[in-house]
């Protein structure tokens, strides 16, 4: 069961973050204020899915590691606190702040500074999750490093 939950939850988390990021970027670049409002107010609700998926990834990964912390597993384990801290201390507060500002139609400098921070932090989490997915695929043999067999 854990073999199934971990990759599915990881994929859900990654797709959710990518959806938040891409919809934000497209709304900001090409959308109307109403579309920006729709995206910014939907993201906090989508965080319910994201937080659940991330909890499942963390718990199932911890269980699958079975106490091992070296090599590729260690790399994955070291990334998770960074991903979680980025989400808890940057992405969630940014999303809530931006939703509040968008509901008030207050698209001022603070809105765009926080929006930029959110896009940067979201990119970081996508990159870190992508590296963890790559490492997970190497661990399961679904991906082999060129010239080196793990």
For the chain, give the percent of residues with pLDDT over 70: 93
Residue-by-residue DSSP string for 71-90: HHHHHHHHHHHHHHHHIIII
Listed by start position, the domains of the chain span 2-61+69-140
pTM check: above 0.85: yes
For the chain, give the percent of residues with pLDDT over 90: 71
Here the contacts of 79-82 (C-beta below 8 Å, separation 24 or greater) are 79/128, 79/131, 79/132, 80/132, 82/128
**Interval 114-136: pLDDT, tens:** 999 999 999 999 999 999 999 88
Which top CATH class is 2-61+69-140?
Answer: mainly alpha
Rounded Cα gap, residues 14 and 35, in angstroms: 23
Per DSSP, helices labelled H in the chain are 2-30, 33-65, 71-86, 92-103, 109-140
Q: What is the pLDDT of residue 1?
A: 66
**Interval 56-70: pLDDT, tens:** 998 998 888 887 777
């Amino acid at each position: 069961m854990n073999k199934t939950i971990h990759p599915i939850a990881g994929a859900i988390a990654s797709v959710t973050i990518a959806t938040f990021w891409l919809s934000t970027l497209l709304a900001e670049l090409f959308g109307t204020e109403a579309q920006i409002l729709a995206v910014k107010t939907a993201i906090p609700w989508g965080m319910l899915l994201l937080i659940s998926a991330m909890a499942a990834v963390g718990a199932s990964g911890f269980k699958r590691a079975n106490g091992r912390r070296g090599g590729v597993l260690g790399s994955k384990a070291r990334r998770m606190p960074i991903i979680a801290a980025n989400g808890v201390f940057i992405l969630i507060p940014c999303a809530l702040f931006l939703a509040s500002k968008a509901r008030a139609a207050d698209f001022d400098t603070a809105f765009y500074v926080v929006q930029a921070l959110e896009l940067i932090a979201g990119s970081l989490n996508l990159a870190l999750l992508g590296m963890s997915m790559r490492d997970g695929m190497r661990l399961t043999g679904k991906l082999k490093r060129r010239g080196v067999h793990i």
